[in-house]
Amino acid sequence: MSLTAALMNAHASIFDVSRRVSTVASNITHADDPNYVRRIAVNSVANSNNAYATQRAAAPQMESMRRESMTGSSGAELTAEKLEQLSRLLGNAEGTTSGLMKELQTQMELYAASPADSALGDAVVGKAEQLATTIRSNAQSLHGFAHVVGSEIRDEAGKLQQLLTDFAGVNKAIVAGRTIGQDVSDALDERSRLLNEMSAIVPVSQIHRENGDMMLLTSNGVTMFDKVPRDVTAVIDSTDSSRNAVYIDGIAIRVSADRESAGANGRLSALLNMSQQTLPGALTELDEMARALVVTFGESDSSATLPDMAGLFTWNGGPDISGLTSHVPSMALSLSVNPAFLSSAGGSSAALRDGGANGASYLDNSAGYASYSARLESIVSAFDTPFGFDPSVAGGTSKSLMDFTLGIEANMETARVSAADTALRASALTTSLTERFSNTVNVNLDEEIALLVDLQNSYEASSRIVSVVDEMLAQLFQATG
């Protein structure tokens, strides 16, 4: 148009370049921050005065894929960690439960081979004491573990509530900023970071509204945030961990019964599955083991009129064992050796061979033979005979006590290995997605430096225009004297 117009354009261009350099500087400063997303300077051509705006590099689909995988991997990793802790908790210094049971059986066989030897009888009672102690302490450890898991659930729920409150504040700032056309990139970075942390706890889905507003839902259509954050409440039952639950907006989080699916839905779901399924299941198995021991070693009335009574093993609900037909909760916590067999309590291990610890009518060896082995042998074979376990535990009526005990440990080990494997795969996926995402939106120093070189050239060219126009005008001034 005219020299003056050229001058003004050069002026605007210089101004623009200096602002772009400041964007580059900001990018370079935050190059190491994983939560910082590269800023891009954009010239808006819509109005002819080249208004300058900053945009934030975005890859929304990759971001949501990454968040989904983070939900899966955090849940899977937590499940694997908890199962690892659990299996270490149940492996004792005295040996595994199945090992101790095998030793008890072996000891019984030795006693059955020479029933007259009371020292062997005492050895059996000693092994029985070890087994009872182990089962009891395992049950206590499980209760303690359930307590720990319950408080972790409470912590995660509290964390989620705090994240939702922070999210509310940041969301408001974004809406207000967008309305008056301010640069809200920092707030958007912060919001992304909060969403990432939330995704590790529960699966999050977003609904975008105008002006940058967002509505958050979790699985099953439950609202977590809509203009205001919803309440997250954890209900922990200290006695029965299967009643633990977390309520979001008054609706309980639905937890899958399958451990792997629960783990795929975030940390809260993994912890709740552990509280609701794994731990009660393990406790039930121990209780059933205790019941089987008590019933196997029980004494029955030879005339079949009086009810069966507890023999070597008893519990705090004894001595009548006639009612032990199905699972009795918390039986394993009070499993103990009957004092009538303990020489330290004035009893004798002979009742193991003869029966009669509960009275004369329960005496098996009525003739008083010293080498009476019938009762001992029947108990030894009972270890390998199918026992009527409660159908809710794995195995039901087709397992023997020994197989049941071995089966419990095998299942625990399988679960541990499989959870570790799932966690490995899930975290590998997350790592790879995070890397791809980072390559797309985070700062690449080489790119920024190259941009800086370009900007320097631009600046030089614009200032050249200014000096050329200045020279031209100077010539005119000269001509006018």
Partner 1 sequence: MSIFGTMQTSISGMNAQSTRLSSVADNISNSDTPGYKRQGVNFATLVTGAGNTSGGVITSGTIEIEAQGVPTTTSSSSNLAILGQGFFLVSDGANNGFMTRAGAFEKDDEGFLVNPNGFRLQGYSMAGGVTPVPNGLSGLVDIQVSTEPLPPVASTVGTFRATLDSQADIETAAVTANTLPSDNVASAKFTGKTSMVAYESLGNEVRLDVYVTRTANDTWEVTVYDQADANSALEAFPYGNAALGTTNLQFDTATGDLLATSPSSLSIPVPNGASLQVDLSGMKLGAQFTVHDAEVNGNPPSSAIGTEINEEGIVRVAYEDGSYKDLFMVALADVPSPTNLTPVTGTMFTQSADSGDIKVGYAGSDGFGKIISSSLEQSNVDIAEELTEMIQAQRSYTANSKVFQTGSEIMDVVVNLKR
With respect to partner 1, which residue has the nearer C-beta, 172 or 464?
A: 172
Shortest distance in whole angstroms from residue 51 CB to partner 1: 6
Other C-beta atoms closer than 10 Å to the C-beta of 145 total 21
Regarding 2 and contact with partner 1 (CB under 8 A), the answer is: yes
Q: Report the residue from 83, 149, 222, 426 that binds partner 1 according to the rule CB under 8 A.
A: 222
Buried b (16+ CB within 10 A) or exposed e, 112-138: beebeebebbbbbbebbebbbbbbbbb
Is-cis flag, bond preceding 115, omega within 30? no
Q: How far apart are CA 388 and CA 372, in angstroms?
A: 28
Site mask for partner 1 (CB under 8 A), range 136-175, x = bound: ------------------------------------x--x
Regarding 471 and contact with partner 1 (CB under 8 A), the answer is no
If the CB atoms of residues 54 and 118 are measured against partner 1, the closer one turns out to be 54
Which residue number, 185 or 422, has a Cβ lying nearer to partner 1? Answer: 185
Q: Does residue 477 interact with partner 1 by CB under 8 A?
A: yes
Q: Which of 247, 281, 348, 459 binds partner 1 (CB under 8 A)?
A: 247
Strand 251-252 and strand 245-248: pairing? antiparallel
Whichever of 224 and 406 has its CB closer to partner 1, that residue is 224
Binding residue for partner 1, selected from 250, 304, 368, 471, defined by CB under 8 A? 250
Closest CA to 286 of 312, 307, 245, 315: 315
For residue 9, state whether it binds partner 1 (rule: CB under 8 A). yes
Number of residues engaging partner 1 in binding (CB under 8 A): 51
**Residue 170 contacts residue 187 (beta carbons within 8 Å):** yes
Are 471 and 9 spatial neighbours (Cβ–Cβ below 8 Å)? no
Which of 249, 364, 377, 448 touches partner 1 (CB under 8 A)? 249
Strand segments, DSSP code E, in 209-257 are 214-217, 223-226, 228-229, 232-235, 245-248, 251-252
Helix (H, G, I), strand (E, B) or coil at 330: coil
Work out whether 235 is an interface residue with partner 1 (CB under 8 A).
Answer: yes
Regarding 176 and contact with partner 1 (CB under 8 A), the answer is yes
The minimum distance between CB 311 and partner 1, in angstroms, equals 46
Beta strands at 232-235 and 245-248: parallel, antiparallel or unpaired: antiparallel
> For residues 281-300, which are near partner 1 according to CB under 8 A?
none
Nearer to partner 1, 245 or 351 (CB): 245
Instruction: Identify the residue among 33, 116, 227, 396 touching partner 1 (CB under 8 A).
Output: 227
Helix, strand, or coil (residue 473):
helix
Q: Nearest approach, Cβ of 49 to partner 1 (angstroms)?
A: 4
- If one asks whether residue 18 binds partner 1 (CB under 8 A), the answer comes out as no
Cα 481 to Cα 348: distance, rounded to the nearest angstrom: 134
> Taking the complex as a whole, how short is the minimal distance between the CB of residue 233 and partner 1, in angstroms?
6
Question: Can you tell me the distance from the alpha carbon of 304 to that of 323, in angstroms, rounded to the nearest whole number?
Answer: 15
Signed CA dihedral, 188, 192, 198, 199: sign only: positive
Rounded to an integer, what is the distance from CA 360 to the centroid of its chain? 55
Binding mask 259-278 for partner 1 (x = CB under 8 A): --------------------
Strand order in the sheet with 232-235: 232-235, 245-248, 251-252
Min dist CB 313 to partner 1, Å, is 41
Residue with tokens 């408001």: 172
Give the residue, chosen from 3, 31, 113, 410, that forms a contact with partner 1 under the rule CB under 8 A.
3
d(CA 91, CA 133): 13
Q: Give the one residue of 45, 61, 93, 221 binding partner 1; rule: CB under 8 A.
A: 221
Interaction of residue 223 with partner 1, rule CB under 8 A: yes
User: Counting contacts by CB under 8 A, is residue 191 touching partner 1?
Assistant: no
Pair of tokens at residue 17: 């370049």
Question: Under the criterion CB under 8 A, does residue 211 sit at the interface with partner 1?
Answer: yes
In the complex, the residues that contact partner 1 under the rule CB under 8 A are: 1-5, 8-9, 11-12, 15, 47-51, 172, 175-176, 178-181, 207, 209-211, 213, 215, 217, 220-223, 226-228, 230-231, 233, 235, 247, 249-252, 472-473, 476-477, 479-480
